[in-house]
Amino acid sequence: MDTQFLVSLSIILATFALYIGIAIYNKAKETSEFYVAGRGVPPIFNGMAIGADWMSAASFIGMAGTIMLLGYDGLAYIMGWTGGYLLLTFLLAPQLRKYGRYTVPEFIGDRFDSHTARILAAICTIIISFTYSIGQLSGSGVVIGRLFEIDAKIGTMIGAVLIAFYAAFGGMKGITWTQVAQYIILIIAYLIPVIFMSLQLTGNPMPWISYGELVGKMGELDRELGISEYFAPFTNGTKWQFLALMFTLMAGTAGLPHVIVRFYTVSTMKAARWSGAWALLFIGLLYLSAPAYAAFSRFILMTQVAGSKIAELPAWTKTWVDTGKLQVADDNGDGVLQWNELIISNDIVVMATPEIANLGMFVIGLVAAGAMAAALSTAGGLMIAISSAFAHDIFYRVLKPNSTEKTRLSVARWSIVIATLLAGLIALNPPGAITQIVAWAFALATGTFFPALVLGVWWKRSNSQGVIAGLLVGLGVTLAYIFAAKYGGFTILGIIDTGAGVFGAAAAFAANIAVSLMTAAPSQKIQEEVMDLRYPEQMVYKDGEVWMNEDGSKSV
């Protein structure tokens, strides 16, 4: 165990040194570098950075386990979290890039020409990103705590200090290149164990092709045991809950401020389009592998662990039983562990796989480093989103428009430090399970930003009164449904709190459209700016006509 600790520690320290080195090398000197990395990030690398930003501790540690426990119903996460990139890349990313601002609240404030909408959007950004970051910090606390065999709370604090340091120091420019490195480390760490497991179980090094057979075989095993088949649909909730959760995760993806701002870091609409495609390819590598992890782990547990004598369980089960994440109670006292006597927490599937498959301590350390990369990179992106909403949208655009660049940068850095430490404090006693907290953040993004941005980009008639009504109604309905479903037992068609976004979005769209139509149309200038988003940079919409900017001159 001591050698294992040293190996894991050195791998994690080596990767940290790499991230910090990159952050120092790319230290942001100007405001535009701090927020949008000077807008010069090439699409492939931006795709990797989006991938690292996107794949959080919940994706890396929790998703495979969720699918293992929920079976088919867990696949709503796979389709929801990837399908969102269609909405984002088709409906929002290139258009928002052409509009050319720093942040999402800035787009909403300028597009609707309203400081009220700007502040409301900044507050929504802070609420959503802050909720999400609590989940990340408690995730990193679990990894650090388990690794160093210290209390998860101390682990959380170490994580918070680390994130505060490099996000505040490097800004977006540092973070983007750090995230490229983090993507590479986390994807290698995720793929190596699943490839080896596939080799051991099926003799085929391609887990994506080989695990289909096992899924079928497990269905037979389940039938023999008399439990519902692994792949049987809707065993853990209604079909409507599946569809609502999938929609919430998709629309939430398209409305998360820290993901949208990634598309501001590229040079053009074309680059935004390609960034979206590359990002989903890189994200897909992990998301296509998660169900394979789930199937392999479940198969090993069913065939090699269940059915063996309690006294003769493999050595790795002992360590995990000690953490409380695995329970092997011999309920009927026959000395043999039955499948239904095995209780597994969904957090341990990925973390325990290297031990289950006996892959050696280097791989165990690598997986821990990958999980840390996933938690840190997402938290870093979230912190930039929070700091820009406060320092840029509230402080600079509303409170102190005359402040110097130096003041603004230092307000941005300090707001990162304060937000991280505050999130770290709350993460010491998180208000819910990690996946639950993350699902709430998505529901809130679906109920607020998704309708506001889609209508803002595609409907020129949407005005400031409409967007303010939409944001307030969407936020209110989403929060009300989450609380009513979670604590009051109120559900519609069996849709529980994680699917709340569907109602928030519907109400927000309706409120935005109704109020916009009842009040005066936006100014001619704003309507033309919205029409302009239909065309590439070189085409300009002006005075009801489209003009071609042939020589590429900057001012039009």
Partner 1 sequence: MKKIDKKAADSYFREKTRNMIIYFAIGFLASFGVVFFAEPLSDITINGFPFHYFMGAQGAVLTFIILLFVNAKMGDAIDRKYGIDENKNEQISSGKVLDH
Q: Which of residues 60-119 bind partner 1 (CB under 8 A)?
A: 72, 75-76, 78-79, 82-83, 85-86, 89-91, 97-98, 100-101, 110
Is 402 an interacting residue with respect to partner 1 (CB under 8 A)? no
Is 235 an interacting residue with respect to partner 1 (CB under 8 A)? no
Distance, CA of 141 to CA of 152 (rounded, Å): 5
Distance, CA of 315 to CA of 162 (rounded, Å): 34
Part of the chain binding partner 1 (CB under 8 A), chosen from 119-127, 262-270, 308-316, 484-492: 262-270
Yes or no: say if 420 and 163 are a contact pair by the CB < 8 Å rule.
yes
Is 242 an interacting residue with respect to partner 1 (CB under 8 A)? yes
Least distance to partner 1 from the beta carbon of 270, Å?
Answer: 6
Is 213 an interacting residue with respect to partner 1 (CB under 8 A)? yes
CA distances from 136 to 58, 210, 524 (A): 8, 32, 44
Part of the chain binding partner 1 (CB under 8 A), chosen from 16-24, 166-174, 231-239, 360-368: 231-239
The interface with partner 1 within residues 278-297 (CB under 8 A) comprises: 280-281, 284, 287-288, 291
Is 45 an interacting residue with respect to partner 1 (CB under 8 A)? no
* Binding residue count for partner 1, defined by CB under 8 A: 71
**DSSP characters over 357-425:** TT--HHHHHHHHHHHHHHHHHHHHHHHHHHHIIIIIIIIIIII-TT--HHHHHHHHHHHHHHHHHHHHH
In this structure, what token pair is assigned to residue 332? 């009927």
Closest CA to 46 of 376, 382, 274: 274
Distant-in-sequence, close-in-space partners of 175: CB < 8 Å, separation ≥ 6: 23, 37, 49, 166, 167, 377, 380, 381, 384
Residue among 267, 303, 407, 436 that touches partner 1 (CB under 8 A): 267
Yes or no: say if 41 and 270 are a contact pair by the CB < 8 Å rule.
no
Query: Among residues 291 and 504, whose Cβ is nearest to partner 1?
Result: 291
The interface with partner 1 within residues 318-377 (CB under 8 A) comprises: none
Query: Among residues 19 and 278, whose Cβ is nearest to partner 1?
Result: 278
Residue among 269, 366, 383, 473 that touches partner 1 (CB under 8 A): 269
Residue among 6, 24, 209, 227 that touches partner 1 (CB under 8 A): 209
The interface with partner 1 within residues 488-547 (CB under 8 A) comprises: 534-540, 545-547
Residue among 63, 246, 344, 485 that touches partner 1 (CB under 8 A): 246
Residue 326: left (phi > 0), alpha (psi -120 to 50), or beta? beta
Query: Among residues 19 and 296, whose Cβ is nearest to partner 1?
Result: 296
Yes or no: say if 165 and 158 are a contact pair by the CB < 8 Å rule.
no
